[in-house]
Chains A and B, each alone.
Chain A
Amino acid sequence: MKPLSGVLTVLLLACSGCAPQVAVDAENLNNVPAPSVDPLDTQIALTPENTKVQFVGTHAAADPNPRTGVFEQFSGTATIDGSALTSLEVEIQTDSLSTDIEKLTNHLKSPDFFSVNEHPTATFQSTSISAGDDGKTNITGDLTLLGVTKSITFPAEISTADGLSLKSEFTIDRTEFGMDFGLQQVEKEVAMTVTVGQ
Chain B
Amino acid sequence: MPFPVTDIVYGCLAPALVAGAVVWALHRKSLGAAGSRFGASAALAAGFFLGYRLLSLSPWMPEAHWQWLPYAVLLAAVVGPIVTAPRGSWPVRIGSCAIVAIAAAWFLVPAWEKLEPSRLVYLIGWVVYVTSLTALLSPLTSRFPGPLLPVVLAATLLAGGMVLFLADILRFAWIGVAGAGAMAGIATVAAFDKRTDAIAGVTLPFAVLLAGALLVGRLNSFSDVPWVSYLLVPLAPLLLWVGTRGRLSTLTGARRAVVCAVLPGLPLAIALLLAALGTRPITIS
Q: Which residues of A approach B to under 8 Å, CB–CB?
A: 1-3, 5, 102-103, 105-107, 109-112, 115, 117-118, 147, 180-182, 184-185
Asked whether A184 lies within 8 Å of B4 as measured between CB atoms, the reply is yes
Q: Which residues of B approach A to under 8 Å, CB–CB?
A: 1-2, 4, 6-7, 56, 63-66, 110, 112, 165-166, 168-172, 219-223, 279, 281
Knowing A102-B281, A184-B4, A184-B6, the reply to whether A109 touches B222 (Cβ < 8 A) is yes
Asked whether A111 lies within 8 Å of B171 as measured between CB atoms, the reply is yes
CB distance from B152 to the nearest CB of A (A): 26
Contacts of A106 in B (CB 8 A): 168, 221-223
Cross-chain pairs A/B with CB under 8 angstroms, 6 sampled? A3-B170, A111-B64, A115-B64, A117-B219, A118-B65, A184-B7
Asked whether B171 lies within 8 Å of A185 as measured between CB atoms, the reply is no
User: In the complex, what residue of chain B is closest to A105 when comparing beta carbons?
Assistant: B222
Contacts of A103 in B (CB 8 A): 168, 223, 279
Asked whether B6 lies within 8 Å of A111 as measured between CB atoms, the reply is no
CB distance from B233 to the nearest CB of A (A): 19
CB distance from B43 to the nearest CB of A (A): 27
Complex-state Cα separation, A189 to B2, whole angstroms: 19
Asked whether B169 lies within 8 Å of A111 as measured between CB atoms, the reply is yes
Knowing A105-B222, A110-B220, the reply to whether A3 touches B4 (Cβ < 8 A) is no
Knowing A111-B169, A112-B169, A112-B170, the reply to whether A185 touches B4 (Cβ < 8 A) is yes
Complex-state Cα separation, A168 to B279, whole angstroms: 36
Instruction: Count contacts between A and B, CB distance < 8 Å.
Output: 58
Complex-state Cα separation, A182 to B55, whole angstroms: 10
Asked whether B172 lies within 8 Å of A3 as measured between CB atoms, the reply is no
User: In the complex, what residue of chain A is closest to B165 when comparing beta carbons?
Assistant: A3
Knowing A3-B170, A102-B281, A182-B170, the reply to whether A110 touches B6 (Cβ < 8 A) is no
Knowing A117-B110, A117-B112, A118-B64, the reply to whether A107 touches B2 (Cβ < 8 A) is no
Complex-state Cα separation, A83 to B66, whole angstroms: 49
Contacts of B7 in A (CB 8 A): 184
Main secondary structure of the interface of A (DSSP, over half): loop
Asked whether A117 lies within 8 Å of B170 as measured between CB atoms, the reply is no
Complex-state Cα separation, A92 to B7, whole angstroms: 33
CB distance from A182 to the nearest CB of B (A): 7
Complex-state Cα separation, A74 to B143, whole angstroms: 59
In the A-B complex, the 3 residue pairs with the closest CB atoms: A106-B222, A106-B168, A107-B168
User: In the complex, what residue of chain A is closest to B115 when comparing beta carbons?
Assistant: A117
Asked whether B172 lies within 8 Å of A111 as measured between CB atoms, the reply is yes
Complex-state Cα separation, A107 to B112, whole angstroms: 20
Asked whether B170 lies within 8 Å of A181 as measured between CB atoms, the reply is yes
User: In the complex, what residue of chain A is closest to B58 when comparing beta carbons?
Assistant: A111
Asked whether A112 lies within 8 Å of B171 as measured between CB atoms, the reply is yes
Complex-state Cα separation, A112 to B171, whole angstroms: 6
Contacts of B1 in A (CB 8 A): 2, 185
User: In the complex, what residue of chain A is closest to B67 when comparing beta carbons?
Assistant: A111
Given A117-B110, A185-B4, 13 extra CB contacts under 8 A = A1-B166, A102-B281, A107-B169, A110-B168, A110-B222, A111-B169, A111-B171, A117-B219, A118-B64, A118-B110, A181-B170, A184-B4, A185-B2
Contacts of A105 in B (CB 8 A): 222
Complex-state Cα separation, A118 to B171, whole angstroms: 15
User: In the complex, what residue of chain A is closest to B223 when comparing beta carbons?
Assistant: A106
Asked whether B110 lies within 8 Å of A180 as measured between CB atoms, the reply is no
Complex-state Cα separation, A110 to B222, whole angstroms: 7
Contacts of B219 in A (CB 8 A): 117
Complex-state Cα separation, A102 to B2, whole angstroms: 17
Complex-state Cα separation, A3 to B221, whole angstroms: 13
Complex-state Cα separation, A14 to B219, whole angstroms: 35
Of the candidates B6, B171, B220, the one whose C-beta lies within 8 Å of that of A181 is: B171
Asked whether A2 lies within 8 Å of B2 as measured between CB atoms, the reply is yes
CB distance from B211 to the nearest CB of A (A): 18
Contacts of A5 in B (CB 8 A): 170
User: In the complex, what residue of chain B is closest to A184 when comparing beta carbons?
Assistant: B4
CB distance from A196 to the nearest CB of B (A): 29
Q: Give the one of A103, A110, A111, A115 with max B CB within 10 A.
A: A111
Contacts of B171 in A (CB 8 A): 110-112, 181
Complex-state Cα separation, A2 to B3, whole angstroms: 10
Complex-state Cα separation, A103 to B7, whole angstroms: 22
